Structure 1
Amino acid sequence: MDVRHLEYFLAAVDHGSFNRAAASLYLSQPSLSQAIRILERDLGSELFHRIGRRVVLTEAGVALVEPARAAIRSMQLARTSVESVHGLVTGRLEIAAMPSQAVSPLTEMISRFIRAYPGVSVTVRAAFTAREVTEMVRTGAAELGILASAGESQATEVCTHPLSEQRFILLAPPDGPFPPDTTAVGMEDLAGHRLVVGQQGTGMRQYVDDLRAGGVDVTLAVETEHRVAILPLVLAGAGLAVVTEAWRELARQTGVLALDLEPPTSLKVALVSRHGATTPAAEAFLRTAAEDDLDPNT
């Protein structure tokens, strides 16, 4: 079995079509299709249902995804380990990140990392919940992940490296219900207001759901998976929004009020990595993060 064929298979899985997978690999679509057919012949089973231009995994294809990612990661580990004998000069690192944590602290971490290792490229992959981040790291879709949760991570299938906490804040338009000189609001002050919220499974949505369960009467005006839409929605008057303080500086730059919520409530932020050996790039990233961010007691 050719490892390149596994790479082509995973590209088709991730992109949902042979055309897009081939483009991402700078291959012709017929070349990729032929490689997939060879892999299917080697394994004695079809891996995809071909539905027009789309491809959908068969049961055999689903079973192959995790072993294929593990095989690719093992090859990457072997290659980069040999290269690192001469120093970490080149390489690639994939990090799964929840939206708010991708803004901060991940931005600062990547900035420090690429200054120290300018030849290593970093790819940030989107995940909307802590569970999604954990699964992407566990299955090898990403080597590291950054997530936030209300309590300490209980995921035993990955290694957890605690970071600092992020407090919840309230975003409000400058011409909204709170005067510009307001610095903090109580949870009860949100009663009667419309809110822009994230989807189920996110910390910001859980905060609002807990408010409602506690008797604070708020209206869910907009639910969005696109975190970049929150600031424009607040500015446009669609509603207020509860987010983490990762958004504080961006909010101020756009003119949105960023107000502390009382009593303070926080999410615990952590990096996660796979059990066992990791690539030199991942190890270097963890070391770089540890210089300022990782909990010294872990």
Structure 2
Amino acid sequence: MDARHLRSFLAVVDHGGYHRAAEALAVGQPTLTQAVAALERELHTTLFHHVGADVVLTEAGRALVGPAREVGHGLELARASVEAVEGLRAGRVEIVATPSQAVSPLAGTVARFCAAYPGVRVVVRAAFTADEVVDAVRSGATELGLLASARPLLATGLDLHPVVRQRLVLVTPPGSTLAGPVRPEQLDGCRLVAGPPGTAMRSAADGLARHGATVAAECGHREAILPLVLAGVGVTVLPDSWRELAERAGARVVELEPPTHLDIAYVSRTGAVTAAARAFLGQATPGSPRPAPIDAC
């Protein structure tokens, strides 16, 4: 079975169609179509149902996803063994992260890693909840995940790599008269801008709502929450990593009492990871070396 055909098959699965998959792999769509067709001939089965411009996995296709990812993971490990001998001068590391953690601590880790290993490409993909991150790593869709939780972190079958604890803070419009530390009962009657259900920030907002605050707006786009606060829609709860950005934009940031924290950690599949992933985790842990930045141009 040709590994390139499996890679083409997974690209269609991950990108939801042949056109986007071909763009992601930087190949022509006919080439991609032929690769999947060759795989179907070899397996004597159909892997996708074609519904208009969309594709849907057949039962056989769903059964192939897991083993195909295992093959891809094995090939990455084989490539990583060579890269380790060669001094990690090439390769890539793939990470899925929730939005706030992509601001911090991920951005700083990527900067340190790229300075230390300029030949290795870092690919970051988005997930909205910790459960989505865990599912992506467990399925083999990505090698590393970065997540945060206000509850004890549980990722059965995965390795946890704790990074940092961040405090949650209240972000208010520029004209707000709230002064910290603010207790939940002081927000009785306040309007909240909240993230979607299942996120740590939404759990914190729901906790404030139980003391009389009202969720006035629910926004699935994390980058839109701060503009909504600045527009006066309401107040919101964000990790302290957003403080500098929020204050620079004109918002006011106050502490919550009692304090609530997010535990932030990377997750990886139990067992061997690629050399690039090991090096990235080494840059992500507290006290990791901080090489001088490289010229980006």
TM-score, structure 1 normalization = 0.93
Residue 294 of structure 2 corresponds to which residue in structure 1?
Answer: none
How far did residue 177 of structure 1 move?
4.2
Residue 219 of structure 1 corresponds to which residue in structure 2?
Answer: 214
Matches of 1:83 and 1:265 in 2, distance apart?
Answer: 42
Matched residues, number: 288
How far did residue 152 of structure 1 move?
2.5
Matches of 2:55 and 2:177 in 1, distance apart?
Answer: 50
Q: Which amino acid aligns with 2:146?
A: I
Residue 19 of structure 1 corresponds to which residue in structure 2?
Answer: 19
Matches of 2:161 and 2:83 in 1, distance apart?
Answer: 26
Are 2:201 and 1:199 equivalent residues in the alignment?
A: no
Q: Which amino acid aligns with 1:277?
A: A
Matches of 1:73 and 1:104 in 2, distance apart?
Answer: 28
How far did residue 44 of structure 1 move?
2.1
Structure 1's unaligned 5+ residue stretches are: 294-298
Residue by residue over 1:52-91, the C-alpha shift from the partner in whole angstroms, topping out at 9 and shown as x without a partner, is: 2111111221222222112111111101211221201111
How far did residue 291 of structure 1 move?
4.7
How far did residue 143 of structure 1 move?
0.7
Residue 296 of structure 1 corresponds to which residue in structure 2?
Answer: none
Which is further off, 221-230 or 145-154? 145-154
Three-state SS of the structure 1 residue aligned to 2:212 is: coil
State which of 256, 263, 270 in structure 2 corresponds to 1:268: 263
Matches of 2:128 and 2:55 in 1, distance apart?
Answer: 24
Residue 10 of structure 1 corresponds to which residue in structure 2?
Answer: 10
How far did residue 19 of structure 1 move?
1.1
CA RMSD of aligned residues (A): 1.4
Residue 241 of structure 2 corresponds to which residue in structure 1?
Answer: 246
Residue by residue over 1:244-265, the C-alpha shift from the partner in whole angstroms, topping out at 9 and shown as x without a partner, is: 1121111011111111111101
Matches of 2:137 and 2:170 in 1, distance apart?
Answer: 31
Residue by residue over 1:96-134, the C-alpha shift from the partner in whole angstroms, topping out at 9 and shown as x without a partner, is: 111111111111111111111111111111111111111
Residue 292 of structure 2 corresponds to which residue in structure 1?
Answer: none
Contact kept, 8 Å, 2:187 with 2:208, in 1: the verdict is no
Residue 63 of structure 2 corresponds to which residue in structure 1?
Answer: 63
Residue 291 of structure 2 corresponds to which residue in structure 1?
Answer: none
Contact kept, 8 Å, 2:163 with 2:286, in 1: the verdict is no
Matches of 2:227 and 2:142 in 1, distance apart?
Answer: 30
Identity %: 54
Residue 108 of structure 2 corresponds to which residue in structure 1?
Answer: 108
Are 2:209 and 1:209 equivalent residues in the alignment?
A: no
| Structure 1 consecutive aligned stretches of length 4 or more whose deviation exceeds 2 Å | 210-213, 290-293
Q: Which amino acid aligns with 1:276?
A: G
TM-score, structure 2 normalization = 0.93
